[in-house]
Chain A
Amino acid sequence: MKKMFSLVLVGVLLTMLISGCSSSATNQGSKNEPTEAASGQKTIGVLIAGQNAPYLASYVKGLQKEAEAQNVELVILDAEWKIDKQSFQMQNLITKKVDAIVLNAVDAKAIVPALVKAQSSNIPIIAGNVGLEEEGNKYIKAFTGADSITEGQGAAQLIKEALHGKGNIVQIIGSPGMEPTINRKKGFEEELAKIAPDIQIVASEVGGWDKAKSVTAMENLLTANPDIQGVYAHDDTMAVGAIQALKEHKKDSIKVVGIGGSAAGIDAIKVGDMYGTNLQSPVQDGVEAIKVAVKLINKENIEFFNYIEIPKITKENVANFTPEW
């Protein structure tokens, strides 16, 4: 009797596994017509931090789009924001002997030991979207994604335009210590000093990439600095928070500039609440990662830093952009 139980169980598990595998295979293959079975098709392993983040969900779409165009197979593993899980997934991809790995790190530091261990496999690894800083960059072949410095510079150019080169502004920054926070601040401040010396940054507050926090931050900034004409937020989410606070205080003549090009940001530009933003397209970000990965597989020469374009969006051209996240 119990033997039958175990047998049935093994059977059930087997069917589940096989159906699981084949369903994903058809998922991948259905769009590639009969070529899916062709041997020699290269496989790229992708380690995603967590697809529940809207940006990364669209990022994955970009990866898939380009993989289809280049006829490579993707194995996408989601770490669900668990750092131990991601380092184990890295080991599993190496065991699977994929041809290249795109790493979207949950934690740029904690993944380093896994990268060290991956060295001996000779599988090329690319950091996608999240940079790894100096200690991690030694073990990878390339970075693809947005350059936060460029984004900061673009924001400075938009602020100059909005304020006609003169005035006082405040800055709402992301979580301290993170690479985008540091470089979006650096790029902005350096560019502003260069192109618009008459614009003063009178104060900065932490918005921590969070809308509610940014509302409070903006309120405090307004209380302390009533005479401001512009706001620079490190991303659209915080910019939209700032706009909410400005509206509540009837200060909506103050110009707001952000980074990102999220749905909320683009909407705010359309209705005129926000002056402009710097688009970081998640789809483009994903496409670039696969492009570079394929070049690496084909042993073509590539640059270490591969940055995507960061177009500016203002009321004039907002109609050309559909939000991706």
Chain B
Amino acid sequence: MNNTKVQKWLIDNVSFLIFLALFLVSSAIASEFASFANLNNLLMQVSVLGIVAIGQTIVMIAKGFDLSVGVVVSLAGIVTVYLQPYGLVVAIVAGILVGVVVGMINGFAITKLNINPLIATLGSMTFVGGITLGVTNQNPVSGTDMNFLMLSGNILNWVPLPFLFLMGFLFLTDRFLKNYRLGRDIFAIGGNSDAAEYSGIKTDRVRFLSYVLCSTLAAIGGILLASLLNTGSPIAGNGMELATIAAVVLGGTKLTGGAGSVWGTFWGISILNILSNLLDLTGVMSYYQTGLQGLVLILVVIITTISAKRQKNKGGMLRTFQ
């Protein structure tokens, strides 16, 4: 009995364990890795992508996808930087609104027009991406308000503020998904949409909400990134859609929906980030880097699938013996 509990814990936390292993290996390989400055860098490096990935996790638990997070990151950053002369509050609220609006468009297209999430968000990705490049004429906009940079500064000289935001959002989203009805509805829809519908869940409304939440978090990530770079750039969020999906999968969220956790995603992001940090420190050519990251992704998914299958078989056996 006790043994199965341990096994279950190991499987549920496989991404954390891999992270831990990588962390130890990295400390041993690269002498600079465990230095104070590098750890501080690492905290900053996971923050923006981590916040964007929380949203992606919510959508993917509900058996969806959001390919538009990258362009939302870019556009929200641009809008916030552009509107700085009207005051930081106005600028930041407007940046967040970008996320809300794109999320509503995605949600509407997917729930009311019944467009496949992949196609709907691919559409909004190209549409918003095109607008972003158009309004900026491909040029980045520089910030004018130096107070804006404080958003990505260090607290007590060592924890980057974006990392505290990330922790806050992780905690809140985790609570929301586990303890609130709406959160549990997201799992129910992802697990079996028809069954959820029959049991009285307003599936369209919940799904709509999941896309709005996702885009809003992406926008917040975009604002923090703009603060870090003191620039709103039309290419700031390039590639984040796939990076977040990879991290979500690494974190144990099923592509088939209905299972997963935001903390898993956090460890997923941390694994990818630690890998690229270590490879940068050891001077491995970038081409091998992306190759290795792909390999790790595939390996981890294979391991989780195999171990989950075994656990299931064993669990089934136990139940019949009881």
User: Taking beta carbons and an 8 Å cutoff, which residues of A are in contact with B?
Assistant: 1-3, 5-6, 9-10, 12-14, 16-18, 20-21, 23-24, 27, 43, 48, 51, 73, 75-78, 80-84, 87-89, 91-97, 106-107, 109-113, 135, 175-178
A-B contact pairs, 5 of them (CB 8 A): A2-B6, A24-B285, A76-B286, A82-B235, A96-B283
A166–B72 Cα distance when bound, in Å, is 52
Contact B307 A5 (CB under 8 A): yes
A107–B282 Cα distance when bound, in Å, is 25
Contact B230 A16 (CB under 8 A): no
Contact A113 B228 (CB under 8 A): yes
Q: How far, in Å, is A165 (CB) from chain B's closest CB? A: 36
User: Taking beta carbons and an 8 Å cutoff, which residues of B are in contact with A?
Assistant: 6-7, 10-11, 14, 17-18, 21-22, 25, 29, 32, 35, 37-38, 41, 44-45, 48, 137-140, 142, 149, 225, 228-231, 233, 235-236, 238-239, 277-288, 290, 292, 295-296, 299, 303, 307, 310
Contact B282 A16 (CB under 8 A): no
Contact A6 B236 (CB under 8 A): no
Contact A1 B285 (CB under 8 A): no
Given contacts A10-B21, A113-B149, 17 further A-B pairs with CB under 8 A are A6-B18, A9-B18, A12-B299, A13-B22, A13-B296, A16-B296, A20-B279, A27-B285, A75-B283, A78-B285, A82-B235, A84-B228, A92-B281, A93-B280, A109-B142, A113-B228, A175-B137
Q: How far, in Å, is B82 (CB) from chain A's closest CB? A: 14
Contact A6 B10 (CB under 8 A): yes
Residues of chain A contacted by B231 (CB below 8 angstroms): 83, 107, 109-110, 112
A83–B74 Cα distance when bound, in Å, is 11
Q: How far, in Å, is B169 (CB) from chain A's closest CB? A: 18
A110–B32 Cα distance when bound, in Å, is 26
Q: How far, in Å, is B222 (CB) from chain A's closest CB? A: 11
Contact B277 A92 (CB under 8 A): yes
Q: How far, in Å, is A99 (CB) from chain B's closest CB? A: 13
Residues of chain A contacted by B282 (CB below 8 angstroms): 17, 21
Contact A83 B284 (CB under 8 A): no
Q: Sorted from nearest, which 4 A-B pairs have the closest CB atoms?
A: A78-B286, A92-B280, A75-B283, A110-B231
Q: How far, in Å, is B200 (CB) from chain A's closest CB? A: 39
Contact B140 A82 (CB under 8 A): no
Residues of chain B contacted by A23 (CB below 8 angstroms): 288
Residues of chain B contacted by A95 (CB below 8 angstroms): 32, 35, 37-38, 41, 281
Residues of chain A contacted by B10 (CB below 8 angstroms): 2-3, 5-6
Residues of chain A contacted by B229 (CB below 8 angstroms): 83-84, 87, 107, 110-111, 113
Residues of chain A contacted by B230 (CB below 8 angstroms): 109-110, 112-113
Residues of chain B contacted by A177 (CB below 8 angstroms): 137-139
Contact A17 B32 (CB under 8 A): no
Q: How far, in Å, is A23 (CB) from chain B's closest CB? A: 7
Contact A107 B281 (CB under 8 A): no
Q: Which of A14, A48, A89, A107 contacts B25 (CB 8 A)?
A: A14
Q: How far, in Å, is B230 (CB) from chain A's closest CB? A: 5
For A175, the closest partner residue in chain B by CB is B138
Contact B236 A83 (CB under 8 A): yes
A107-B22 contact given A2-B7, A91-B41, A92-B280, CB 8 Å threshold: no
Residues of chain A contacted by B22 (CB below 8 angstroms): 13
For B295, the closest partner residue in chain A by CB is A16
For B38, the closest partner residue in chain A by CB is A95
A75–B286 Cα distance when bound, in Å, is 9
Contact B11 A88 (CB under 8 A): no
Contact A2 B11 (CB under 8 A): yes
Contact B280 A76 (CB under 8 A): no
A80–B236 Cα distance when bound, in Å, is 12
